[in-house]
Structure 1
Amino acid sequence: MNVRRLIPAASLAGAVALGATALTACSGASAAGGNTDGKLAVTASFYPMQFLAERIGKEHVTVTTLTKPGVEPHDLEITPKQTGRLGESDVILYLKTLQPAVDKAVAQSGVKNVVDAGSLTELEAHAASGHDDHDHAAEGEEHDHDHGGAGKDPHVWLDPAKYAQIAKGVGAALGKADPAHAADYEKNTATLVTELGSLDTEFKDGLKTTASRTFITTHAAFGYLAERYGLDQEGISGIDPESEPSPARMKDLQGVAAKDKVTTVFFETLAGDKTAKALAKDTGLKTDVLDPLEGITDKSQGADYFEVMRSNLKNLQKALGAK
């Protein structure tokens, strides 16, 4: 004989609630900011990581960024409250050593899926000057290597080929954290990598023949870009955009400008342009924008990574006399 046992309504409701809670926890609803839509909660340290997460994750992720638009990433400070919210992320994407405050917060977060973009490609050391005979130590430029750890330049996203390598790693990490949508992440990654390959070709073709191979910029963030396309970067301030150049460095740059037929001093949107304008005035050069893409604001020459990079290419072509 079958015996039917009645379950009290209160117990049934409790069981349903418990099951829903477990399902929510497994589906990524523990995201920062109280995300309860079942999407993977991704926290990006700054714009280049945010862009990858959004382009690869698309509708399957909710992306938040620690560095708000208009904030210079190198100087970011994180509150205890932000550190607490960081711990609710499903995935953290950051670039170790670029932002010391982020490194500390990530270490304290306890999040399992943490991706250091620097581990997905090979970081290199780049000096403020692209000329081998330039004596940095003699001019007091030791600060050029403060960021990146062990002298490594962190601005790797400005090389489309290396950025593509990072994209592949990010796609794999999202797939591991959210296996149900791994196929979509893989597809989106492949599309993005193809687009980055096209951008790389545009830069190679666009900068193949120029009147000059040297460009001067306030922030020596373009070492990877310069190396990839056979250019010489001359940074006024070094890797740290807020460091002050020595008088000897400013004098040296005047000589470089005359010798290498430099026409333009580049500045950026998130850091001050005082030194760029001072050098341009002393040397009779023009000024223009070369954006290190550390953040997008209403002053940016484009709405996303690709648009700003193409603006950078156009500005470099004009300054270098591309043919």
Structure 2
Amino acid sequence: MNVRRLIPAAALAGAVTLGATALTACSGASAAGKSADGKLDVTASFYPMQFLAEKIGKDHVKVSTLTKPGVEPHDLEITPKQTAQLGEADVVLYLKSLQPAVDKAVEQSGVKNVVDAATLTTLEAHGASGHDGHAAEGEGEGEGEGEGEGHDHSHGEAGEDPHVWLDPSKYAEIAKGVGAALEKADPGHAADYKKNTTDLVAELGALDTEFKDGLKNTASRTFITTHSAFGYLAERYGLDQEGISGVDPESEPSPARMKDLQAVAAKDNVSTVFFETLASDKTAKTLAKDTGLKTDVLDPLEGITDGSQGADYFEVMRSNLKNLQKALGAK
């Protein structure tokens, strides 16, 4: 996972962001420009945005994604052809600062109806540890990162963590905003979008309850992961996230950080080191071998592949819950 400098927020000067204060930017003119089959043409930047569009839009939308299955979203490169296609979309759904290449492509495309998921909820800064917020030792070394960067991909000027979809309650907030945007873009099917949004928010509420109940009583509250993407999840359910490398799950952590994590594992009764499906498990296995711990998957849900522990967002999140319960000794 390559770490790149993020473009400033002002770079989206040509785009109209449909946040809480700008949802009215989509108008009937967009609906008039629907694809030949009469469906709203929606382009999503990566899987969590694609999933929302498909669940809320259903038969009324044609959804395409910029990040193909198996591609690490943070490393995505956009072709000129894809930039041109963006400009032809009725609605673009993305999460600003997660994928710098997408930010740049949106700016260059001139697309008018853009939904930035970051404006539909509140982003927070998370470090490699879910509660104390400190960056892991050795993070950002040699990367040329500035202050406030060097962990959790260091998104935005304040280092906001973009992985909001891993908290079902925050994902529900985004779903509401996406639903409202689709209603504005295609008013003829507004009632259906509203119903589908309500149904999805209810499903996410039920998932939130499953996590709360499933992680209420555990032998440990600390989990170790190669990808520090679970800050929102940890905060939501009272857990502590310890990232091995933080920025890049495939990078080599410093010896000091490995020693620190060995101490954390012993102190906090940690049984498992988690890795993700879209990155190497090398560092997880190295730490597990040195500490006598097991390894398992904790999926940041940035994409669905044949290797994913589930076919969609809900199935993979429930697999994550099961793996966390097992690792933390849920009672």
Q: What amino acid does structure 1 have at the position aligned with 2:154?
A: H
Q: Within 5 A, what are the aligned runs for 1:285-296?
A: 285-296=293-304
Q: Is the 8 A contact 1:27 1:38 kept in 2?
A: no
- Verify: 1:317 aligned to 2:322, yes or no: no
Deviations 1:250-292 (A, max 9, x none): 1111110000000000001001111000000000000000000
Structure 1 residue 212, shift from structure 2 partner: 0.1
Q: What TM-score, normalized to structure 2?
A: 0.86
Match of 2:62, SS state, is strand
- Cα distance 1:131–1:249, how it changes in 2: closer, same or farther (>3 A)? farther
Structure 1 residue 98, shift from structure 2 partner: 0.3
Gaps of 5+ in 1: 1-22, 30-34
Distance 2:309 2:136 in 1: 35
Q: Is the 8 A contact 1:97 1:147 kept in 2?
A: no
**Residue number in structure 1 paired with 2:150:** 143
Q: Within 5 A, what are the aligned runs for 1:1-323?
A: 27-29=32-34, 35-130=35-130, 132=132, 136=135, 139-141=138-140, 142-144=149-151, 146-149=153-156, 150-323=158-331
Distance 2:236 2:51 in 1: 22
Q: Is the 8 A contact 2:56 2:197 kept in 1?
A: yes
Gaps of 5+ in 2: 1-27, 141-148
Match of 2:246, SS state, is coil
Greater radius of gyration (CA): 1
Distance 2:131 2:182 in 1: 40
Distance 1:138 1:107 in 2: 36
Distance 2:51 2:199 in 1: 14
Q: Report the RMSD for the aligned CA atoms in angstroms.
A: 1.8
Structure 1 residue 91, shift from structure 2 partner: 0.1
Between 1 and 2, higher relative CO (CA 8 Å, sep ≥ 6) is seen in 2
Aligned residues, how many? 295
Q: Is the 8 A contact 1:215 1:264 kept in 2?
A: yes
Match of 2:151, SS state, is helix
Structure 1 residue 240, shift from structure 2 partner: 3.8
Structure 1 residue 131, shift from structure 2 partner: 5.3
Match of 2:160, SS state, is coil
Distance 2:209 2:307 in 1: 27
Distance 2:30 2:112 in 1: 14
- Cα distance 1:209–1:25, how it changes in 2: closer, same or farther (>3 A)? closer
Q: What amino acid does structure 2 have at the position aligned with 1:136?
A: A
- Cα distance 1:200–1:174, how it changes in 2: closer, same or farther (>3 A)? same
Match of 1:157, SS state, is helix
Structure 1 residue 96, shift from structure 2 partner: 0.3
Structure 1 residue 109, shift from structure 2 partner: 1.5
Q: What TM-score, normalized to structure 1?
A: 0.88
Structure 1 residue 154, shift from structure 2 partner: 0.5
Matched residues, percent identical? 81
Structure 1 residue 111, shift from structure 2 partner: 1.5
Distance 2:41 2:316 in 1: 27
Structure 1 residue 172, shift from structure 2 partner: 0.3
